[in-house]
Amino acid sequence: MAHRDTQERLIQTAAGLWHARSYADVGVNEICEAADVRKGSFYHFFASKQELAVAVIDRHWSEAYENVVMPALAAGATPMAQLQELTVGIADEVDRLTDELGVVPGCPFGNLAVELSTIDGAVRERLERLFESQKELLRDLLERAVAAGELPDATDTADAARAMHAYIEGVLLVSKNANDASIVRRLLPLALRLAVEGTPAEAARV
């Protein structure tokens, strides 16, 4: 037979199953069955289940970048508008995946981080580098917002980007647990507030 797309099918099948359920709950056997691949072939392409996880992570990110990040950057007129578009795009994607998978899936990276960061070093490091890229992306946006006068010059864009990234992960986590996709659309745009410094209490503290 020698199908050329065996490896591809394994990655996509595992991505879907893990996103809908969890890494531990979906074993190599089930992935192979769903992808119509025999176990021997699985281990011809991947040395371990964890190695497949790394490939799945890369796949998720390249697809998310293409389907969510790039459209948002194209749609927004100003940096802060692009940020807003990004939150909307994520909400759209969550809606789409909820239909496709039958459950609110949360964040594929956050999910794997929770399950594997204390278990598998390679996965943890891959996720950390990925998170770094995502925070860089947010920070670039914020820097451009400062340059465009949408945010004060003194804005600590690094901290704000870190906070926004964590917030996005948190919103996706709680939406998954509540199994309610609408939470994402309602809550995610509030991320922009994290870029604005100086609340009453912060001022009182200083």
Give 193-198 contacts, CB < 8 A, sequence gap 24+: 194/160, 194/163, 194/164, 194/167, 195/80, 195/83, 195/142, 195/145, 195/151, 195/155, 195/157, 195/160, 195/164, 196/151, 197/152, 197/154, 197/155, 197/156, 197/160
What's the min distance (Å) between Cβ of 76 and its own copies? 9
Q: CB under 5 to 8 A by kind: which of its own copies, DNA, none does 27 bind?
A: DNA
- Residue 155: DSSP 8-state: -
What's the min distance (Å) between Cβ of 117 and DNA? 17
- Pick between residue 31 and residue 160 the one whose CB is nearest to DNA: 31
Within 8 A by CB and 6+ apart from 80, the residues are: 141, 145, 148, 150, 151, 192, 195
Q: CB under 5 to 8 A by kind: which of DNA, its own copies, none does 118 bind?
A: its own copies
Please give the residue ranges that form the binding site for DNA (CB under 7 A): 1-3, 6, 27-30, 37-45, 47-50
Within 8 A by CB and 6+ apart from 146, the residues are: 152, 153, 155, 157
Q: CB under 5 to 8 A by kind: which of its own copies, DNA, none does 47 bind?
A: DNA
Alpha-carbon distance 107 to 195, whole Å? Answer: 22
The gap from C-alpha 86 to its chain's centroid, in whole angstroms, comes to 12
Q: CB under 5 to 8 A by kind: which of its own copies, DNA, none does 3 bind?
A: DNA
Please give the residue ranges that form the binding site for its own copies (CB under 8 A): 20-25, 78, 80-81, 83-84, 103, 106, 110-111, 113-119, 124, 127-128, 131, 150-151, 159-160, 162-163, 165-171, 173-174, 176-179, 183, 186-187, 189-190, 192-197, 199-202, 204-205
Q: CB under 5 to 8 A by kind: which of its own copies, DNA, none does 194 bind?
A: its own copies
What's the min distance (Å) between Cβ of 55 and DNA? 13
- Pick between residue 34 and residue 192 the one whose CB is nearest to DNA: 34
> Which residue in the block uniquely carries the two structure tokens 């001022």?
203
